[in-house]
Chain A
């Protein structure tokens, strides 16, 4: 069982300098995620949720505020491989086999080949891709490619998983299937997960907690615990509590979108 790590953001803001004046993308976000929690962040397009995630990954640095992953700064956490990042695109190297793609992080780390191969095989088995080791990425479907990228993320056994709309490009049936698999996976992996998504039902189905962000500048406008239990199968979607959660988040999101309109009307 992999152990998670706590994530903390305090007073985090991000300003992007642009021609028409500075653009405030993330505004004063305070967030503490306990070790092992699965948190989804949902919000209107361009609300800064990806920017927030990228700051956790040290791919962007906050303009103000501090970020801690497992008690150390985001930059230190990146250097210590405390997290793995899963992008919306599978971002596999097209000329490398599934096995080699999966083992890539270990290769960069300088892990010996035999161990690389065995760990990569183990992770591929976890995502149900045993027997596909020698395939090349273009020979796999989009869903399978994304599973490879999740297996790759798990090879370094990170305490934290940062996922930026990983299933956003998949069709709905495949997405539901991937959601189910991700939950199954979490029975053996207790990482802390931050999961960015546009899909309300995906967020509710997967998460212990859903955070709703407002339109730009991105602020946290709702922070909801999802108490659907840890055993979640397709039938959870049919339960009244599930619909209740969806309805509530939908309401918050409508507010968030309305605030977009108002801010659009304001003179710049």
Chain B
């Protein structure tokens, strides 16, 4: 059995075709992973507190971890805990992020395919896509909200705008990374270009496409939040951030808690992408 810790040890045993099931089923590395996570969190909290105390940082700039916890446990006028309030808003923002991620990733993968396969599209579309990346999304968010209204659609559109690029580029790169001889081999079998795409190019590109999706997943949360910043939104982490800005000098804990909630949301979406990658690729990371 692999003696390594955590998720790096998905080594395929010789002759074992069901390797990924085996890896997911082994309990002790998972437990070690949790332990490692706890150690990292405790370490970060400790570092934060040590820096705060040694440098005597103003609590308005660096509130104590304990005060953040207390803030999470406070109740509003309706008697709801702040942590549940955050969770509710996480769900709202998360819906927009995931919708945008799906939309952006789908368009990105399709566009990446076209970029890799069609010279004309690569030459005409790629410069446009790259330049579009420099558009400050915060600046045009109001226009998007005006056009698509306050709600999931706007969030999805902005998130899709941010997630499109990594998905498209990694797909194109992945497809271009197929060895020329492998394509020629398929041609000697008289395989159609469609068969070559399905049987060779897409599977070759898959690990890289998942790298793009992971990057995109984090961007999608940023996109959804940006779409909540302009006028009109009532719910979502972006709205909570806006109101926390207003009260920052009185109570910085609210903003820090919201930022932590944002990180948690991004982490959850990235984990799902990783899970999907593991299911789709099995132990393939080993030989790429």
Bound together, the chains give a CA A16 to CA B203 distance in angstroms of: 33
Q: Is A72 an interface residue (CB 8 A)?
A: no
Which of the 9-residue segments A1-9, A76-84, A181-189, A203-211 touches chain B?
A: A76-84
Which of the 9-residue segments B10-18, B49-57, B227-235, B260-268 touches chain A?
A: B10-18
Bound together, the chains give a CA A78 to CA B12 distance in angstroms of: 37
User: Contacts A93-B182, A94-B284, A108-B195 hold; do A84 and B203 have CB atoms under 8 A apart?
Assistant: no
**Distance in Å: Cβ of B217 to nearest Cβ of chain A:** 23
**Distance in Å: Cβ of A58 to nearest Cβ of chain B:** 8
The answer to whether B189 touches A108 (Cβ under 8 A) is yes
Least CB separation from A87: chain B residue? B181
Q: Is A85 an interface residue (CB 8 A)?
A: yes
Please classify how large the interface on chain A is, using the bins under 10, 10 to 19, 20 to 34, 35 or more: 20 to 34
**Distance in Å: Cβ of B278 to nearest Cβ of chain A:** 14
Contacts of B281 in A (CB 8 A): 95
Least CB separation from A106: chain B residue? B189
Contacts of A138 in B (CB 8 A): 286-287
Q: Is A137 an interface residue (CB 8 A)?
A: yes
How many A-B pairs with Cβ below 8 Å? 60
Q: Is B191 an interface residue (CB 8 A)?
A: yes
Contacts of B187 in A (CB 8 A): 59, 78
Task: Tell me if B's interface is mostly helix, strand, loop or mixed.
Answer: helix
Contacts of B16 in A (CB 8 A): 134
Q: Is B179 an interface residue (CB 8 A)?
A: yes
User: Contacts A89-B179, A93-B182 hold; do A84 and B188 have CB atoms under 8 A apart?
Assistant: yes
Max count, chain A CB within 10 A of own CB: residue among B185, B286, B288: B185
Contacts of A139 in B (CB 8 A): 12, 14
Contacts of A89 in B (CB 8 A): 179, 181
* Listed A/B pairs (13) with beta-carbon separation below 8 Å: A59-B188, A78-B190, A83-B188, A84-B188, A87-B184, A94-B284, A94-B287, A97-B17, A107-B199, A108-B186, A134-B16, A135-B15, A136-B287
- On A, residues with C-beta under 8 Å from B are 57, 59, 78-79, 81, 83-85, 87, 89, 91, 93-95, 97, 104-105, 107-109, 134-139, 156
